[in-house]
Amino acid sequence: MKFLFSELAALVNRAQQKNNVRLLLRFLLILAGFFTLYSLLFHFLMEYEGRKHSWLTGFYWTLTVMSTLGFGDITFTSDLGRLFSIVVLLTGIIFLLVMLPFTFIQFFYAPWLEEQNRARTPRALPENTSRHVILTRFDAAAVQLIEKLDRYGIAYAILVADPQEALRLHEAGYRVVLGLLDDPATYERLHVRQAALVVVLNDDVTSTNVIFTIREVCEQVITVTNVDQDESLDILQLAGSTHTFQFTKMLGQALARRVLGYGHQANVIGRFDELLIAEAAAGRTRLQGLTLAESRLRELTGVNVVGLWEEGRFSPPGPETRIGEATILVLAGSGEQIRRYEMHVALPGKPGEQTGPVLVLGGGRVGMAAAATLRRMGIDYRLVEKKISRALQGDERVVQGSAADLETLVQAGINESPAVIITTHDDDLNIYLTIYCRRLRPDVQLICRATLERNVKTLYRAGANLVISYASLVSTTILNLLNPEKLLVVSEGLNIFRTPVPAGIVARSLASARIREKTGLSVVALRRREETFINPDPATPLQADDELILIGTAEGEQRFGELYAGSSG
């Protein structure tokens, strides 16, 4: 069926080309008709004035007048002849100076230029391409994903249907393939059977068509699809999508779970076999104000603090690192250890205590998801939105009005609120609201959404306590599906990876190897034969066939590779 549609599209395109040629020939025939008619009238009018010229002279005069050259060597002396000259001159201006250039551009130059651009843009990947990632849409999330793919040496290709857009991206240095999204031949040229992953981030209707087309070519390739509407989940799964994610809903949930001081639950952000990686807000817990050494978390709960987030900056832990109100701890441990942590850090009588509602600014998909998550957590909230849908009318937790209006914010409870979640898709507006809310409430917790990665630092400078990037969320989720047994990206710039024990530290203990001091990485698990030791004892001696599971930044991973290059056990 798809091949039939493709052939019909090609026939329509050829028919359009034939129609253009017909129009061009018609224009040239009209021009030739005017040229012949004026040459004949030239002879009649010259005889009327008592002069006689050859037929060649008539064509010569018509051409010079219509082209506005007008050498002046042959002229009429009568008013009738001069009126005729004016008509010929105006006709030449309209047909030769105006219509002919546009006709030439439309039917000759533009098609030639388009073919040249098409020839410069690749239409297929090299034959030996394999284990690559195919992206069917180029946006902010795709840019972030491509940066990470380049960092880990994973090949990719962007499928673009528009020739001009494809050429622009190609000249910008991206690997682009020009082709139709709904043409099975396109995916043949992309070698979809050898691809590691196909990322489909289009709208729901287009994504369904793309997935269905891919399944005509290959049933096995793994696909990742973004879903905007709840009702599209089943449809995309029926079309053949391997993984479907509602990234906007995931973002709203992640924003809501970062609210400080309610339940003190750790947010699991990654799993690596039995090992869990979680983020936990330290503010308003018994940890606030203590150093890591004073907290004795490993001794009392078994969890290992492998890093700290402070206003968007990740830093490795140290015994004297002090835990502040805005500190987010990155924890590694088993499920039981994480639960012991949650029970240990809660202050008596404090869980669930709330002085005012959490404000959610923006009632889009992200804002609605954040509100639903707060509701499930038992946290009171107020959703501020200009245009309220029929489903939200009558809800006392919804405040209609502009989030930039002081009266609206006061009505929603800005003066009593412990936290404000800013969820709009417009980064400029989010920056504005962050500065505004910080001015109104210097002590409030501000949790912000960033659509573009480049605005994350700007939002922190504007006063945000925590910023979660939509592009990072999407790229991190997708990257973790590529090679989960070797690499796990738990958040922007924070990775978990496996590696054999380097030969240089075999038979030494973890403490004496000083991996954290040298690289900034933390050993969160030790794999020995079929057994995994989570947060192993620092005195554990390392064996040649052991496998280390480390967590840290990409820079720390690079330092580890440089330090122990060629010395794997």
Domain residue ranges of the chain, discontinuous segments joined by +? 2-120, 133-245, 263-345, 358-472, 493-563
Average pLDDT for 536-565: 84
Is it the case that residue 12 has pLDDT exceeding 80? Answer: no
Q: What is the DSSP string of 46-81?
A: HHHTT----HHHHHHHHHHHHTT---SSS---SHHH
pTM (two decimals): 0.70
Is it the case that residue 9 has pLDDT exceeding 50? Answer: no
pLDDT band at 49 (very low <50, low <70, confident <90, very high): confident
**Tokens encoding 386:** 């200009």
Kindly list the distances between the CA atom of residue 479 and the CA atoms of 202, 250, 486, 489, in Å, as whole numbers in the listed order. 18, 16, 11, 7
**One fold for 263-345 and 493-563:** yes
117 against 67, higher pLDDT: 67
- pLDDT by residue (tens digit) across 304-329? 888 888 766 777 788 888 888 778 88
Amino acid identity of 455? N
pLDDT band at 245 (very low <50, low <70, confident <90, very high): very high
Average pLDDT for 79-88: 89
pLDDT band at 207 (very low <50, low <70, confident <90, very high): very high
Q: What is the DSSP string of 329-368?
A: EEEEE-HHHHHHHHHHHPPTT-TT--SSPEEEE--SHHHH
pLDDT score of 431: 96
Picking from 295, 253, 300, 299, the residue whose alpha carbon sits closest to that of residue 308 is: 295
Average pLDDT for 11-26: 62
pLDDT score of 215: 95
The mean pLDDT value of the chain amounts to 84
Is it the case that residue 260 has pLDDT exceeding 80? Answer: no
Per cent of the chain over pLDDT 70 is 88
pLDDT band at 103 (very low <50, low <70, confident <90, very high): confident
Question: Which residue in this structure is represented by tokens 């289009």?
Answer: 202
Question: Which residue in this structure is represented by tokens 């606030």?
Answer: 288
Average pLDDT for 163-177: 90
2-120: CATH number: 1.10.287.70
Architecture category of domain 358-472 in CATH: 3-Layer(aba) Sandwich (3.40)
Question: What DSSP character marks residue 543?
Answer: -
pLDDT score of 6: 43
Average pLDDT for 120-145: 91
194 against 272, higher pLDDT: 194
Q: Is 493-563 in CATH node 3.30.70.1450?
A: yes
346 contacts 228 by C-beta, under 8 angstroms? no
pLDDT score of 50: 85
pLDDT score of 423: 95
- pLDDT by residue (tens digit) across 470-480? 988 898 888 87
Rg (CA), the chain: 34
pLDDT score of 200: 96
pLDDT score of 374: 92
| Phi, psi for residue 495 in degrees, rounded to 5 | -125, 150
- pLDDT by residue (tens digit) across 215-239? 999 999 999 999 998 899 999 999 9
pLDDT score of 413: 92
pLDDT band at 462 (very low <50, low <70, confident <90, very high): very high
pLDDT score of 182: 93
- pLDDT by residue (tens digit) across 492-529? 567 778 888 888 888 898 888 888 888 888 888 888 88
133-245: CATH number: 3.40.50.720
- 263-345: CATH topology is Alpha-Beta Plaits (3.30.70)
